[in-house]
Amino acid sequence: MNAAELSQRSARAVWVVAALAFVTVILWACGGIMRERDQAALLDGSIQLARDGAVAGQAYYNYDKQYASYWLVSGVLKSLGLHKPGASPDRVVAAGNWLTAMVFGAALLLAAGSCGLCRWSALLPSAAALFTPVLAFSAPLLSSNMFSAAAILVLTVFLRRRGGGWINAITCGVLAWAAVAFRRDAALILPAMCFLSTDRLTIRGLAAEGRHWAMLAGAVVAVVVGDALYDGPHYMPSSFFDWRLLGAYPVFGLAGAGVLIAWLVVRVTTAALRRGKVAMAAAALSLLLPFAFYATVMTTPRHLTLTALALLSAGLLPRGRAWWRMLWRGRLDRMVVAVAVAMTAVLWVVGLRFDALTSFRLTSHEPTRFPTADGFWPAGAYAGFLGALANAGKSPIDHNQEVWAAWKGLDYAALPEGTARVHSLGLRMMGNLALRIHGRESTAHDEPWDYILVPFRTVGRTEAGFQGIKMANPVPDWSKCWLETVPGDPARRIYLASPEGAVGREKPLELEWIARLLVLRAFAGDNVVMARPSAAAELDRGPRHRIAVVTDQPAAAAEFAGRLDAAGLPSRVTTFDGDPATGSVVIFSPVNDIDWIGLLPDRGVVWLAQTVLPDFMSKKAFPVAKKR
């Protein structure tokens, strides 16, 4: 065995160990965690599918774009008996999460185990692509992205094979169908897969391979079948541009992998154009097709999943390996790869805490968490955040877990008979899922309903006039509604709302003043608030940019403000609607080395709240999908 072969064998061994480590981590982080609304929608539709049994004529959320994901999850829930009314919500969510982690993990191990001998030039970029946050944070949670990614990884196994005839071609076609049927945007990566696996990098060479035609046919069939099965409104993402998001998401969503794929594309494209090889330039640029598609609709780093997979595929397929081998000869190229890989490794341990857009400091445990459509993502320190994500069922990391905990804690036996309409800003699907699990019916906004269920968070945000998400239906005027607290978790309330006159009552029920905390514009603005009753230990988690302490005694508020000023923490005291009788609020910004919790008065404190985002961040930047 010569030195070159020994180096390749050691690189392959390291790659397999890295894949095993990744799978171990995602399985460790797996559990009954509800992370985002698409996850809830997929579970809700899968339960309905398992109960109804009809795969055609359905209107589940994005069913046309991910129907195979619905089929897979539905089959698993049905086999476990979790589709029946009365199942444990935690078990339902955990089943979906474990399914995703195991499917993706198995596909990754298959791809790693069959990759053959590889060089360090391809291994290092592949490892950086694998350990991107978009894959590490998505793999432990139910997601059609991960089912599609699993099919793509298995597809690389068959695309690496030379020959195989029509059997290999059919297999590639089936896997292409599966990738697109699991999630339609997988079609964006298929051109790159063809370029990276072809023997001859020319248009004629691409057309000569039957498996490429089979992949095209599989993708087309997946799209046609999805449209034929679907009987509902089609959702199209709204284009928008926010330079803060377009900067933060690739940097902290891809880490060093973003640098690597950009460098690879630029270097290969430049070399190709210099030699007059247009097909080679097109092949390199095709790696950025998924990123280009999502650049103006990127509401979550999860939209970068295909970009990470494109870089990973470049390290697994022959053409991509040849490119990395070519770049490895240059000293500058090796330096860029080393810096990018080191950047990924460092960001798993160290993060950034932003006090302003141009002011930040390094931290290992309290990085700034920036807003996404899926909840908060960290600006580095990924290992700590993944641990927090694994424990989010007990200690929520954002409002998504808070709202899901409210729905889980609801006493469904106390609900009236009939059909509910869930009114929840951005998180309606969680309420629909909870009702479905407990055998209750919910309806869309434009269909008849008997009563409305509203989480505490939505009441506060709509009272404040926050219209960050434009709903298809008008926001109710809570001052003209009866609001009754449904029995459940007293810290995470669900209200039963009825329009004035709908239940024969003459005047509306006034909101309890505690809920007005989220109405306080001076404190919250368009920021995101995590609010809890007066248990300081529960609030003391994650970054705290501003704190509000609510008291029902003005004297206690004045006493606390005096203690803060004496400790060097400037504060201000305000009241609800200018009426001290409804309570006083002390607002201040904490400093890490000052124990403000120890300064709390021993009387009168009824509520604590914190803003989660720095003031320069805004939730109003997010549009939503529109029906067409």
Lowest-confidence segment of 297-301, 476-480, 509-513 by average pLDDT: 509-513
State the pLDDT at residue 534: 57
Residue 625 lies in a domain: no
Q: What is the number of domains present in the chain?
A: 3
Q: Is the torsion defined by CA of 144, 147, 150, 155 positive or negative?
A: negative
Residue 96 lies in a domain: yes
Which amino acid is present at 137?
F
Q: Which residues is 452 bridged to in the sheet? A: 421, 497
Q: Which residues is 531 bridged to in the sheet? A: 609
Residue 143 lies in a domain: yes
Q: Which of 463, 492, 516 is the last residue of a domain?
A: 516
Q: Which of 516, 550, 565 is the last residue of a domain?
A: 516
pLDDT score of 435 more than 80: yes
Summarize the confidence of residues 517-541 as an average pLDDT. Answer: 55
pLDDT score of 132 more than 80: yes
Same domain, 510 and 535: no
Q: Are 418 and 451 in contact (CB under 8 A)?
A: yes
The more confident residue out of 619 and 145 is 145
pLDDT range class, residue 476, cuts 50, 70, 90? low
Q: Which residue has the tokens 């359905």?
A: 58
Same domain, 41 and 188: yes
Give the up-direction half-sphere exposure of residue 450: CA atoms within 13 A in the CB hemisphere: 9
Q: Please, what is the average pLDDT of the chain? A: 83
pLDDT score of 433 more than 90: yes
Query: What's the CATH code of the domain at 591?
Result: 3.30.70
Same domain, 286 and 419: no
State the pLDDT at residue 468: 34
Q: Are 210 and 163 in contact (CB under 8 A)?
A: no
What are the tens digits of pLDDT across the range 351-376?
998 877 777 888 888 888 888 888 88
What SS3 class is residue 466? Answer: coil
Same domain, 455 and 417: yes
Residue 619 lies in a domain: no
How many Cβ atoms are within 10 Å of 532's Cβ, its own excluded?
18
Q: Ramachandran region of residue 627, left (φ > 0), alpha (ψ -120 to 50) or beta?
A: beta
Of all residues in the chain, the percent with pLDDT exceeding 70 is 81
pLDDT score of 513 more than 90: no
CA distance 365 to 542: 8
The packing angle between helices 305-316 and 120-130, to 10°, is: 160
Q: For residue 558, give the nearest of 546, 545, 544, 575 by alpha carbon.
A: 575
pLDDT score of 622 more than 50: no
Of all residues in the chain, the percent with pLDDT exceeding 90 is 46
Lowest-confidence segment of 172-176, 278-282, 611-615 by average pLDDT: 611-615
Q: For residue 44, give the nearest of 82, 5, 99, 18 by alpha carbon.
A: 82
Q: What phi and psi, each to the nearest 5 degrees, are found at residue 295?
A: -60, -35
State the pLDDT at residue 532: 62
Same domain, 474 and 596: no
Same domain, 276 and 198: yes
Q: Which residues is 547 bridged to in the sheet? A: 588, 610
Lowest-confidence segment of 120-134, 177-191, 395-409, 542-556 by average pLDDT: 542-556
Summarize the confidence of residues 448-473 as an average pLDDT. Answer: 58
What are the tens digits of pLDDT across the range 157-172?
999 887 778 899 999 9
State the pLDDT at residue 471: 38
Q: Are 159 and 168 in contact (CB under 8 A)?
A: no
> Token pair of 178, please?
């599966």
Residues ≥6 apart with Cβ < 8 Å to 351:
362, 363, 364, 366, 367, 368, 378, 379, 380, 381, 382, 384
What are the tens digits of pLDDT across the range 314-348?
999 999 999 999 999 889 999 999 999 999 999 99
CA distance 266 to 520: 49
Q: Which residue has the tokens 């691409």?
A: 206
Same domain, 502 and 534: no
pLDDT score of 627 more than 50: no
Same domain, 534 and 497: no
pLDDT range class, residue 490, cuts 50, 70, 90? low
Type and span of the H or E element at 455 = strand 451-455
The more confident residue out of 273 and 596 is 273
Most confident of 125-129, 294-298, 450-454: 125-129
Residues ≥6 apart with Cβ < 8 Å to 472:
445, 446, 627
Residue 410 lies in a domain: yes
490-523 residues labelled b (16+ CB within 10 A) or e (exposed): ebbbbbbbbeeeeeeeeebbebebbbbbbbbeeb
State the pLDDT at residue 603: 76
The alpha carbon of residue 82 and the mean position of all alpha carbons in its chain are separated, in whole angstroms, by 24
The domain containing residue 97 runs over which residues?
A: 3-376
pLDDT score of 261 more than 60: yes
CA distance 280 to 273: 8
Same domain, 7 and 106: yes
Q: What phi and psi, each to the nearest 5 degrees, are found at residue 53?
A: 85, -5
Q: For residue 286, give the nearest of 300, 272, 302, 301 by alpha carbon.
A: 272
Summarize the confidence of residues 92-114 as an average pLDDT. Answer: 96
What are the tens digits of pLDDT across the range 12-27?
888 899 999 999 999 9
What SS3 class is residue 134? Answer: helix
420-422 sheet: strands from edge to edge? 420-422, 451-455, 494-499, 481-485
State the pLDDT at residue 628: 42
Same domain, 591 and 465: no
State the pLDDT at residue 481: 61
State the pLDDT at residue 17: 93
Residue 386 lies in a domain: no
Give the predicted TM-score (pTM) of the model: 0.87
Q: Are 377 and 301 in contact (CB under 8 A)?
A: yes
CA distance 16 to 10: 10
Residue 618 lies in a domain: no
pLDDT range class, residue 284, cuts 50, 70, 90? very high
Lowest-confidence segment of 292-301, 352-361, 573-582 by average pLDDT: 573-582
pLDDT score of 29 more than 70: yes
Rg of the chain over all Cα atoms, to the nearest angstrom? 26
For 45-64, the three-class secondary structure string (H helix, E strand, C coil) is: HHHHHHHHCCCCCECCCCHH
How many Cβ atoms are within 10 Å of 395's Cβ, its own excluded?
11
Residues composing the chain: 628
pLDDT range class, residue 597, cuts 50, 70, 90? confident
Same domain, 483 and 543: no
Same domain, 502 and 533: no
What SS3 class is residue 277? Answer: coil
CA distance 184 to 291: 15
Q: Are 94 and 141 in contact (CB under 8 A)?
A: no
Q: Are 399 and 530 in contact (CB under 8 A)?
A: yes
Summarize the confidence of residues 86-115 as an average pLDDT. Answer: 95
Q: Are 399 and 619 in contact (CB under 8 A)?
A: no
What are the tens digits of pLDDT across the range 379-426?
999 999 999 999 998 888 888 888 898 899 888 888 888 888 888 766
The more confident residue out of 503 and 298 is 298
pLDDT range class, residue 464, cuts 50, 70, 90? very low
Q: For residue 64, give the nearest of 208, 168, 238, 181 by alpha carbon.
A: 181
State the pLDDT at residue 599: 84
Residue 471 lies in a domain: yes
CA distance 129 to 316: 11
